[in-house]
Every structure is written in C-alpha cells, then in structure tokens.
Amino acid sequence: MDVAALITWVITALGGFYMLGAWIQRGGIRQQQTGTSRLPAPVVFGHFALAAIGLVVWIIYIVADKGALAWTSFGLLLPVALLGFVMLARWIPVHRDRATAGAAAAAAGPGDEGGVPAERHFPVPVVLAHGLLAVATLVLVLLTALGVGGS
C-alpha cells in the first residue's frame, strides 16, 4: 500500500506542477498586486511546499520503514488538503465566470490577459484528477500509517 500511495502522490504532484506552472506563466504572481487572481501566493506556494516535503518524507519512509515517518507524512498532508480545499473554493467562482473571462481574453492582445485570473486557465479534468488523486493519496497514507495492508 505504501508504493500505491507513492504512485498516487507522484501523479497528483504532476497535475499540481502543471497547474502551478500555468498559474505562474499566466501571471498569477503579478496578479496578486492587482487583485485579479483569487489564489493568494502564500496559499499556492504553501500547498506546494508542504506537499513536496511530505512526498520526500514518504519516500524516506518507504526506504527506512519507520512508522513515525508515515505519520509525519500524514500530518503534512492534512494542511496540504486544507490549503487545496481553500484553493478549490476560490477557483470555482473563477471557473463559473468562464464565459465572461473567455470574452475578455479574446478581446485582449497577446500577453494581455484582460483582467482574467491566471487560474482560469486550469483545465477542469486536471483539477478534478488532482483532487481525486489527492484524496486517494491521503487515504492510502493514512491506511499505511495505521498498518492496514502491511508494509
């Protein structure tokens, strides 16, 4: 089960990297100053940093097989999940306003997003897969830490 958690975690991270890259490329950091982006940079980068640290701890757990490391990874995943839910809640209205944002982006010139939040460009399938795999990862890490399924 520990390797299954690693696989789901890595796939989840790939989706997260894609969205982080899209957010940065579309000006998400710059938009913090103008208030265009609904995703606060500390939340975005906190989510990323805690998830990455947790993944490293999980890899060390797989190598060392120390239960405390499994629980540490799980403990790191809890604020990651909370920050993820915060970002999801702030992304949903941006996604719902896609018709207005699409018209503004079409009217904008190259390099000018016309006030469209950077997170508007997240593909829905990537957001959904990232969230579902994150839940699966959290459950697998918890079950492994509890000793369900052996290690």
**Residues 6 or more apart from 113 whose CB is under 8 A from it?**
26, 27, 36, 104, 105
pTM: 0.86
pLDDT in tens, the chain (151 residues): 999 999 999 999 999 999 999 999 999 999 988 888 999 999 999 999 999 999 999 999 999 999 999 999 999 999 999 999 999 999 999 988 875 645 555 544 444 455 789 999 999 999 999 999 999 999 999 999 999 976 4
Altogether, the residues listed in the chain come to a count of: 151
For tokens 């789901």, name the residue: 8
3-state secondary structure of 93: helix
